Amino acid sequence: MSGGRPREACGVVAVSGHPEAPQLVAEGLVALQHRGQESAGVAYRARGGPIRLERGMGLVLEVFPGLVVPGEGSFAVGHVRYSTAGTSDLANAQPLLARTHLGPVALAHNGNLVESAPVAAAPPGPDASDTALVLAAVAESRAPSLEKALESVLAQARGGFAMAALGPDRLWAVRDPRGIRPLVLGRLEGGWALASETCALDAMGARTIREIDPGEFMTIEDGAAPRSRRLFPREAAAPCIFEAVYFARPDSLVAGSTVHALRRRMGGELAAEHPVDADVVLAVPDSSVSAAEGYAAALNLPLEQGLIRNRYLGRAFLEPDPLRRDARVRRKLAVIPSAVAGRRVVLVDDSIVRGTTARHLIGRMWEAGAREVHLRIAAPPYRHPCHYGVDTSRAQRLFAGERPDPSALARELLATSLGYLSLEGLVRAMGGGSHCTACFSGQYPVPVGVMAGATLA
């Protein structure tokens, strides 16, 4: 891991039983581009035919110009990656393909395996991702079929993971026992689709059916109804709450509500907890726009566009050097001075990770002539590293992790005031339920010991 910012979780898409499966998967991947911009790939096959794999570094449209996937097939899996385990190069771009004695299999994975995950007797190299470790274990399995091999390997896996695998005439899908990483099932005309978020199902023209259950192992043969079994004993579900806070697209459904609606509620809760008398509310685009709307509406304050995001910068490169990080934020976000000058401003963001964005923007607000700058964060302080597929560095590099006292944080950021949403407020905005909140609460739903991926640091 490098830097201190959590990287976007990866995105997974799969289709079974549709004549344009590879093409549909590419459509789904573009809709999930926000989840990873480092590499993209599609593996596909006709029933019983060889697996073809097209993948490369970069955005989906760079890897598949014109969004054309050359070749045909009725089964496909695809992936957009932001590396969380294993080094960042083409060899680790997914899907990964393995030729086993049971036949070829392609695997797309979002998440991280933690201790007690299967490690093959002959690991595929020190830089291997945990996805490669799973495939190596499948290749060594004595099980009579690929399906049985995958099942027995994955039944030993722990952590946060959502995977889709492509076999000779079927797809497999699995979600970790606590349902930390997301995966949803959709219906296509004649076939089925899987994706990390419902926005990808919508983009493929699939109707959202349901979430894959925590611990569910699903087999989808062509267009036939999926068959499921439970790989793990039932445990309390712990879906990642940061999906709703930051990762997911506002039009995606999480627990039956749009992410937009959930974020508006987070903004409303934030307003109830940390109201302020101000002239204008500004969102830090794009991820906090819905929360800022909720905040402004609850306090009856005007919401204005005061920050412009440059949409043409492409990938959010990780930048370990703080000076270059600052330059990146300057490039990414510009202030509209007339929205700020002479006003008491509330700036709403969804999270503070390393503090770069907040520190920079507050400075720009003062430069533009703001009278007061109140920072409101629509989530609790991000204090603890994520071990379930979101790349955060060691806790001490996290801004709030180093500084437990919010008033000291406000002083350091030169903000007039600072207010974070409480964990209780966040959970209320989600409509209750159980979640993984480890990056905020430090309570890890799956014990974290030695990580399976040898390169995790």
- Closest by alpha carbon to 293, among 314, 265, 315? 265
Residue 350 found at the interface with ligand 5GP (CB under 6 A): yes
Q: Which amino acid is at 76?
A: A
Within residues 282-341, the interface with Mg ion by CB under 5 A covers 287
Residue 131 found at the interface with Mg ion (CB under 5 A): no
CB of 111 to ligand SF4, least distance (A): 9
Peptide bond into 169 cis (omega under 30): no
Residue 8 found at the interface with ligand 5GP (CB under 6 A): yes
Q: What distances in angstroms separate CA 246 from CA 148, 250, 291, 328, 432, one per listed residue?
A: 36, 9, 10, 19, 18
Quick check: 58 and 40 in contact, CB under 8 A?
A: yes
CA distance 237 to 79: 25
**Residue 73, beta-bridge partner list:** 20
**Residue 377, beta-bridge partner list:** 349, 420
Task: Tell me which residue has tokens 């979780």.
Answer: 9
- Closest by alpha carbon to 450, among 174, 216, 230, 133? 133
Peptide bond into 350 cis (omega under 30): no
Site track 356-375 with ligand 5GP (rule: CB under 6 A), x = hit: xxx-----------------
- Closest by alpha carbon to 357, among 436, 286, 406? 286
**Taking the mean position of all CA atoms in its chain, how far away is CA 208?**
19
CB of 241 to ligand SF4, least distance (A): 5
CB of 357 to Mg ion, least distance (A): 6
CA distance 54 to 156: 30
* Pair of tokens at residue 227: 């068959």
Q: Which does 180 bind (CB under 5 to 8 A by kind): Mg ion, ligand SF4, ligand 5GP, none?
A: ligand SF4
Alpha helices for 141-250 (secondary structure H) = 146-154, 198-204, 242
Q: Which of 10, 240, 386, 436 is catalytic?
A: 10
CB of 424 to Mg ion, least distance (A): 23
Among the listed residues 44, 75, 388, 420, the single contact to ligand SF4 using CB under 6 A? 388
Among the listed residues 436, 451, 454, 456, the single contact to ligand SF4 using CB under 6 A? 436
Site track 301-320 with ligand 5GP (rule: CB under 6 A), x = hit: ---------------x----
Residue 204 found at the interface with ligand 5GP (CB under 6 A): no
CB of 339 to ligand SF4, least distance (A): 32
Site track 269-298 with ligand 5GP (rule: CB under 6 A), x = hit: ---------------x--x-----------
Q: Which does 8 bind (CB under 5 to 8 A by kind): ligand 5GP, Mg ion, ligand SF4, none?
A: ligand 5GP
Among the listed residues 248, 390, 418, 429, the single contact to ligand SF4 using CB under 6 A? 390
CA distance 17 to 221: 7
Q: Which residues contact 82 (CB under 8 A, 6 or more apart)?
A: 7, 8, 9, 10, 35, 36, 37, 38, 391
Is 10 an active-site residue? yes
Site track 224-243 with ligand SF4 (rule: CB under 6 A), x = hit: ----------------xxx-
Q: Which does 436 bind (CB under 5 to 8 A by kind): Mg ion, ligand 5GP, ligand SF4, none?
A: ligand SF4
Residue 351 found at the interface with ligand 5GP (CB under 6 A): yes
Peptide bond into 95 cis (omega under 30): yes
Among the listed residues 42, 254, 358, 386, the single contact to ligand SF4 using CB under 6 A? 386
CA distance 213 to 222: 21
> Count of alpha carbons within 13 Å of 313, Cβ hemisphere only?
15
Among the listed residues 1, 6, 69, 218, the single contact to ligand 5GP using CB under 6 A? 6
Residue 180 found at the interface with ligand SF4 (CB under 6 A): yes
Task: Please identify, using beta-carbon distances, which residue of 287 and 393 lies nearer to Mg ion.
Answer: 287
Residue 7 found at the interface with ligand 5GP (CB under 6 A): yes
Task: Please identify, using beta-carbon distances, which residue of 157 and 353 lies nearer to ligand 5GP.
Answer: 353
Q: What distances in angstroms separate CA 415 from CA 171, 278, 372, one per listed residue?
A: 52, 14, 8
**Chain positions contacting ligand 5GP, by CB under 6 A:** 5-8, 246, 284, 287, 316, 349-358, 399
Active site residues: 10
**Chain positions contacting Mg ion, by CB under 5 A:** 287
**Chain positions contacting ligand SF4, by CB under 6 A:** 160, 180, 240-242, 386, 388, 390, 436-439
